[in-house]
């Protein structure tokens, strides 16, 4: 199918998942994860109605942005952010979804403040405690929130997670449920510079389950653009 047909199908599936959960489909933001897809594909998805794009790598994001690929759309960094790339990305995207330490948050805040802006961020949670994945442990999140309270250059908009890949669907659902509970608990607490508007979880293989458990932002790549060729 074409990108346009894929986008239509994904939106229908989002609407169905939201309806089954008793939620308004308009609450769910679809982020097209455009990693390893050229600017032309991004523009094709944009023409199909995509309004938010997510990139994994800073250089790829900046390269496609220079070509005007995302013009008129929102842009998120959804991949791991190395500390030495902070100066390149702050102010270049709408949201950085992968803040996983106090040090990284402070570097982003300092750069943003030097530019006279406020960078929106999400805190990435390693909800499965996997050594192979980035993200802060759930019990480290409040220390990062405390750091955000004293940092003028950032606004923490919510949480992001990539739960473990498990064949047993109820087990993955448990990870989504734990993320939602953490999101709710933090939302009830009072931190400066923290709004907790976004819970970003769920990708091509599991976004419907994530929506059922409370996600209001899903990151879909393969189901929109097709399988990526990692051999190139």
Please write the tens of the pLDDT for every residue from 11-64.
999 999 999 999 999 999 999 999 999 999 999 999 999 999 999 999 999 999
pLDDT at 62: 98
Burial 2-23, CB ≥16 within 10 A → b, else e: ebeebbeebbebbbebbeebeb
What is the rounded average pLDDT of the residues 68-91? Answer: 98
Banded pLDDT at 162 (limits 50, 70, 90): very high
| Of 80, 206, 196, the residue nearest 134 (C-alpha) | 80
Q: What is the pTM of this model?
A: 0.95
pLDDT at 168: 64
Instruction: Tell me the Cα Rg of the chain.
Output: 17
Is 82 in contact with 107 (CB distance < 8 Å)? no
Q: Mean pLDDT of all residues in the chain? A: 95
| Of 167, 164, 146, the residue nearest 156 (C-alpha) | 146
| Of 210, 26, 21, 198, the residue nearest 120 (C-alpha) | 198
Rounded-to-integer distance, Cα 158 and Cα 184, Å:
10
């Amino acid at each position: 199918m074409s990108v346009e047909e894929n986008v239509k199908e994904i939106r229908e599936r989002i609407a169905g998942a939201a309806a089954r959960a008793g939620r308004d489909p308009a609450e769910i933001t679809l982020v097209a994860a455009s990693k390893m897809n050229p600017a032309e594909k991004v523009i094709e998805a944009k023409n199909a109605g995509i309004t938010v794009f997510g990139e994994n790598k800073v250089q790829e994001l900046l390269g496609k942005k220079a070509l005007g690929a995302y013009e008129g759309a929102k842009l998120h960094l959804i991949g791991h952010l190395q500390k030495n790339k902070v100066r390149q990305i702050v102010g270049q995207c709408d949201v950085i979804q992968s803040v996983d330490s106090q040090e990284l948050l402070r570097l982003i805040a300092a750069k943003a403040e030097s530019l006279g802006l406020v960078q929106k961020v999400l805190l990435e949670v390693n909800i499965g405690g996997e050594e192979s994945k980035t993200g802060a442990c759930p019990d480290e999140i409040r220390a990062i929130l405390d750091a955000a309270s004293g940092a003028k250059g950032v606004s923490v908009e919510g949480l992001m997670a990539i739960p473990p890949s498990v064949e047993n669907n109820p087990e993955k659902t448990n990870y989504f449920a734990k993320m939602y509970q953490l999101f709710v608990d933090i939302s009830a607490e009072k931190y400066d510079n923290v709004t907790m508007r976004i819970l970003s979880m769920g990708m091509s293989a599991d976004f419907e389950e994530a929506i059922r458990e409370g996600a209001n932002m899903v990151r879909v790549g393969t189901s929109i653009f097709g399988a990526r060729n990692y051999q190139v």
